[in-house]
Amino acid sequence: MKLRRPRRFAAAMLLGAFVGGSVAYVLRRVPARDVAPEAELGEVRLGRFEDADLERPQVPARLVPVAAGVGQPTDIAFVPGHPSKLVVTSKWGSLHLVDLATETRVTWLWLPVLDALESGVLGLAFAPDFTESGRFFVHQTPRSEDDSVVTSALTELRVDPQTLAEPRVVGELLRIPQPHGTHNAGQLAFGPDGMLFMALGDGYAGRPARRSQDRTNLLGSLVRVDVSTSGRYTVPPDNPFVGQEGVRPEIWAYGFRNPWRFTFDGRGRAIVADVGAARWEEVAVVRAGDNHGWPDREGFVCHPPETCTDAPDEPEPGDEDEGAPSAVEGVAAREGSTDAPGNAAAPPAGPSSDFADPVLVYDHRDGISITGGVEWQAPGPLEGAYIFGDFGTGRIWAARLPEPPARVEELTALGRFDVSPSAFARDAEGRVFLTDFRMERVYRIDLAL
pLDDT tens, position by position, 35-87: 444 567 889 999 999 999 999 999 999 999 999 988 899 999 999 999 999 99
So what's the pLDDT on residue 118?
83
Strand partners, 415: 396
Q: Which residues pair with 374 in a beta bridge?
A: 387
Distance (Å) of CA 415 to CA 47, 58, 236: 4, 8, 41
Q: Does residue 185 register a pLDDT over 70?
A: yes
36-43 contacts at long range (C-beta below 8 A, 24 or more positions apart): 36/68, 36/69, 36/70, 36/71, 36/440, 37/69, 38/69, 39/68, 39/69, 39/440, 39/441, 40/68, 41/65, 41/66, 41/67, 41/68, 41/441, 42/68, 42/439, 42/441
CA distance 97 to 79: 9
Burial class (CB in 10 A: 0-12, 13-18, 19+), 447: middle
388 CA to centre of own chain: 11
Cis peptide before 405 (omega within 30 of 0): yes
**Contact call for residues 444 and 73 (beta carbons, < 8 A):** no
Region 215-226: what's the mean pLDDT? 96
Choice among 192-196, 307-311, 366-370, 392-396 with the minimum mean pLDDT: 307-311
Could you tell me which residues come within 8 angstroms of residue 10 by beta carbon, excluding any fewer than 6 positions away? Answer: none
Contact in structure between 358 and 292 (CB atoms under 8 Å): yes
Average pLDDT for residues 88-117, to the nearest whole number? 92
Q: How confident is the model at residue 142 (pLDDT cuts 50, 70, 90)?
A: confident
Residue 130 has pLDDT above 80, yes or no: yes
Residue 309: pLDDT band by 50, 70, 90 thresholds?
Answer: low
Q: How far apart are CA 379 and CA 381, in angstroms?
A: 7
> What pLDDT score was predicted for residue 307?
62
Domain residue limits, the chain: 10-447
The structural architecture, per CATH, of the domain 10-447 is 6 Propeller (2.120)
CA distances from 52 to 55, 374, 402 (A): 6, 23, 22
SS3 track for the chain: CCCCCCECCHHHHCCCCCCCCCCCCCCCCCCHHHCCCCCCCCCCEECECCHHHHHCCECCEEEEEEEECCCCEEEEEECCCCCCEEEEEECCCEEEEEECCCCEEEEEEECCECCCCCCCEEEEEECCCHHHHCEEEEEECECCCCCCCEEEEEEEEECCCCCCCCCEEEEEEEEEEECCCCCCCCCEEECCCCCEEEECCCCCCCCCCCHHHCCCCCCCEEEEEECCCCCCCECCCCCCCCCCCCCCCCEEEECCCCCCEEEECCCCCEEEEECCCCCEEEEEEECCCCECCCCCEECCEECCHHHCCCCCCCCCCCCHHHCCCCCCCCCCECCCCCCCCCCCCCCCCCCCCCCCCCCEEEECCCCCCEEEEEECCCCCCCCCCEEEEECCCCEEEEECCCCCCCCCCCCEEEEECCCCEEEEEECCCCCEEEEECCCCEEEEEEECC
Find the angle CA(385)-CA(139)-CA(78) to the nearest 5 degrees: 45
Q: What pLDDT was estimated at residue 219?
A: 94
pLDDT bin (cut points 50, 70, 90) of residue 12 is: very low
Phi first, then psi: what are they for 75, rounded to 5°? -155, 165
The 10s digit of each residue's pLDDT in 332-352 is 222 233 223 233 433 444 444
Cα-based angle 437, 388, 138 (whole degrees, multiple of 5): 55
Closest-CA residue to 223 (of 123, 135, 150) = 123
Q: Could you tell me if 360 and 399 are in contact, meaning their C-beta atoms sit under 8 angstroms apart?
A: yes
pLDDT tens-digit profile of 362-388? 999 999 999 999 999 999 999 999 999
Phi, psi for 211 (deg, rounded to 5): -60, -35
- Stretch 147-175: mean pLDDT: 93
Residue 306: the pLDDT is 66
- Indicate the pTM of the whole model: 0.85
